[in-house]
Amino acid sequence: QVFNDPQELTLHAAHEISDLINKNNKLKKKTVLCLPTGSTPIGVYRELVRQHIDEGVDWSNVVTFNLDEYYPMDPLSKHSYRHYMQSKLFSHINIKEKNIHIPDGTIPLKSVDKFCEQYEQAIIEEGGIDLALLGIGRSGHIGFNEPGSSSKTITRRIVLDEITRKDAARSFYGIVNVPKSAITMGIKTILDCKRIILMSHGESKATVMKKCLEGEITPHVPATFLRLHHETSFFLDKASAAEL
């Protein structure tokens, strides 16, 4: 689905999320979301905060799982995805702290595998994820599933691609400060979500969106696996759809 501009795109995505929350609240059902970071979803979070404040969208029965976190990473660092989520969304809505799940970048290396197993288990115990919102990296990654990630991957530690570290360098004040690895949900974890929205805006994503939508389905471009999922929508603005 191609939107005229990023604003139209983000409003559309935000409305789908709040409609789902409102619908489930009426049925007294919880809503389980998978959430991304990066610049792409910032407008969505802004709109969700506005809807909470102005329209009373109630997050008390919403459970969230974030896609990924740098490793190692102190949650209090301004570079952490924990800090990002807190400042962009969580501190402005009435979500319960116990319902927030973000991979822990402080886990000792020897315990990372166990942590990842528990992350997967927690998703299963919540009954699976109703809706996943995703961005896309220029390497073709979703979450931090870098090129080479198969469709069977689950939550794990992964070494970051050089393109990804280069793109993150500006906010870390230099590539040397960008962590070399991350903990990410896997492709299988994502494909198990009931509904998926991938958002892409800006001309810098035009090449990867062409590969994602028109190229071969391959671990070299992990986002292509989303085409195997029947409830996935790709929301693009005109600039990122320019090469289609």
**Where along the sequence are the contacts to ligand GLP (CB under 6 A)?**
36-40, 67-68, 135-137, 143-144, 164
Smallest distance from the beta carbon of 202 to ligand GLP, in angstroms? 7
Token look-up 């906010």 returns: 171
**How far apart are alpha carbons 222 and 190 in whole angstroms?**
11
Smallest distance from the beta carbon of 236 to ligand GLP, in angstroms? 13
Nearer of residues 143 and 186 to ligand GLP, judged by Cβ: 143
Smallest distance from the beta carbon of 118 to ligand GLP, in angstroms? 21
Smallest distance from the beta carbon of 93 to ligand GLP, in angstroms? 20
* DSSP code of residue 108: -
SS3 6: helix
Nearer of residues 57 and 137 to ligand GLP, judged by Cβ: 137
First-residue to last-residue Cα distance in the chain: 12
Strand order in the sheet with 131-134: 2-3, 232-237, 195-200, 131-134, 31-35, 62-66, 100-101
Nearer of residues 57 and 168 to ligand GLP, judged by Cβ: 168
Work out the burial of residue 178: count CB atoms within 10 Å of its CB; fewer than 13 is exposed, 13-18 middle, 19 or more buried. Answer: buried
Smallest distance from the beta carbon of 219 to ligand GLP, in angstroms? 17
SS3 134: strand
SS3 115: helix
Nearer of residues 57 and 236 to ligand GLP, judged by Cβ: 236
Nearer of residues 57 and 205 to ligand GLP, judged by Cβ: 205
Work out the burial of residue 216: count CB atoms within 10 Å of its CB; fewer than 13 is exposed, 13-18 middle, 19 or more buried. Answer: exposed
Token look-up 């962009």 returns: 88
Q: What share of the chain is helix, strand, coil (3-state, %, to 5)?
A: 40, 20, 40
Nearer of residues 32 and 67 to ligand GLP, judged by Cβ: 67
Smallest distance from the beta carbon of 222 to ligand GLP, in angstroms? 11
**How far apart are alpha carbons 66 and 132 in whole angstroms?**
9
Smallest distance from the beta carbon of 195 to ligand GLP, in angstroms? 17
Nearer of residues 144 and 225 to ligand GLP, judged by Cβ: 144
